[in-house]
Amino acid sequence: MVRHGPVDQLAVTTQDRGKGDGEPPAKECPECHAVVAAAFARCPQCGHEFPPPDRQHHEAKASSAGIISGQFTDTEHAVRSVFYAVHLKRGGDDRTPRTLRVEYEVGWNHWVKEWVCVEHQGFARRKAELWWKERCDLPCPATATEAQDLASRRLLAEPTHITVRETAGEDFPRIIAWKLGPKPEALEPGTDAGEPVPAAAAWSDIDDSDVPF
């Protein structure tokens, strides 16, 4: 991990602290991708809580991350398996919107995750509806529980490949493209779609450092 971030975002402290005329720093919400001021601890669009500033020590292995903010690397991975789970962010309560957490196995002990905001409002919900429409002919569910149930019954198109983008200055990689198999035929209510796929582990089983909100 790059401790201080991209070289063009290094903060240099001087004795002269005059007013700057540059653009204020900003960051992108990894949940709904809204661009917000860097000072926000919580996304004003979807309520995502940003992680605290990174204060980890240097790692023994040199980072391969870009050294200029905005530089990115796109990597396509074949998907070996996919798991779905209802996710409640740590510290959430009954009023907190849940998300559908999708985990893609792309290598030995290598997982990439995304969160589909089916219970959110506004832009995050519209994104979830588009995500769902690409995979299923049934309407996008209103709850993460229903979404996980339909996904576990193999009613979503199976992903074969995902493209992951890692951008200098961003803490978490983003999935920017998918290759999907055909959509399963919509079944009548009560029809068994076959053996359910295994559910992903509960959020409490995941290291906090691996969860972006």
What are the b/e assignments for 158-188, b being 16+ CB within 10 Å? bbeebebebbbbbeebbbeebeeeebbeeee
What are the b/e assignments for 28-59, b being 16+ CB within 10 Å? ebbbbebebeeebeebebbbbbbeeeeeeeee
Tens of each residue's pLDDT in the chain, 213 residues: 455 556 555 554 444 444 555 556 778 787 776 777 788 887 877 777 777 765 544 445 555 555 566 688 999 999 999 999 999 988 888 889 999 999 999 998 899 999 999 999 999 999 999 999 999 999 999 999 999 999 999 999 999 999 999 888 887 889 999 999 999 986 655 555 445 544 444 443 444 444 444
| Residue whose C-alpha is closest to residue 208's, from 32, 100, 52 | 52
pTM over 0.85: no
Provide the token pair at 132: 């769902």
3-class DSSP state of 129: helix
- Domain range summary for the chain, segments of one domain joined by +: 72-201
